[in-house]
Amino acid sequence: MGRPKQFEPDVAVDQAMRVFWRQGYAATTPQELAQELGIGKGSLYNAFTSKHRLFEMALRRYGEMRVAALEEILERPGPVKPLLRAALERVAAVPDDVLRHGCLAVNTAAELAGKDEIATEVVSAVFSRMERALRSAVERARGKGEIDASCDPGGVAGMLLSVVVGMNVLAKTGGDPRQRLRTVDAVLAAL
């Protein structure tokens, strides 16, 4: 009898994240996960206890990556408005390979929000962190005189988050990325 295949749990979470991102939670079977990870179903359950626990870990990993990428752009030195543009354009100019999958957090909100307490909590935390990063950038831009001093940073951050979520939904349905870039132009002009 051969030795069981060894696997790295962190790598397995990344692989599972891609499967859930591509297919969604409900459409992903434990057998597909085990096959994608190159392990048996028993090893999958021994390592992660359940499909749901692995999904939670993958969703948290995705959220960390997504927020870190946004923060990395928004915390760069220099004028803030171009950084807001860069962050929004990154969403608007989604590459074709990602277009088909959309955003895992947005997809999860559409599939599970209100039905799955843990998934709802994780997605809400991701969106809250994104909104805080956007609010911080708006506050800096307002302090530097780049945007109207009378604007409500929380309201503007909420609007920007809504634009990000909406563009992710629109990107998933296809369409012309130039339209999403025009949306970025309009949003920034409104500031």
* CB neighbourhood size of 54 (10 A): 26
How many domains does the chain contain in total? 1
| Domain around 169 | 9-190
CB 134 within 8 A of CB 74: yes
Query: Rounded distance, CA 157 to CA 10, Å?
Result: 32
Q: Which residues contact residue 126 at a Cβ distance below 8 angstroms, ignoring those fewer than 6 apart?
A: 62, 63, 66, 67, 105
pLDDT tens digit string along 13-59? 999 999 999 999 999 999 999 999 988 888 889 999 999 999 999 99
Q: Which residues contact residue 140 at a Cβ distance below 8 angstroms, ignoring those fewer than 6 apart?
A: 80
Q: Which CATH number do you get for residue 72?
A: 1.10.357.10
Q: Is residue 54 included in any domain, yes or no? A: yes
CB 12 within 8 A of CB 37: yes
Judged by average pLDDT, the poorest of 44-53, 62-71, 95-104 is 95-104
* pTM score of the predicted model: 0.89
pLDDT tens digit string along 127-143? 999 999 999 999 999 99
Q: Is residue 2 included in any domain, yes or no? A: no
Q: Which residues contact residue 115 at a Cβ distance below 8 angstroms, ignoring those fewer than 6 apart?
A: none
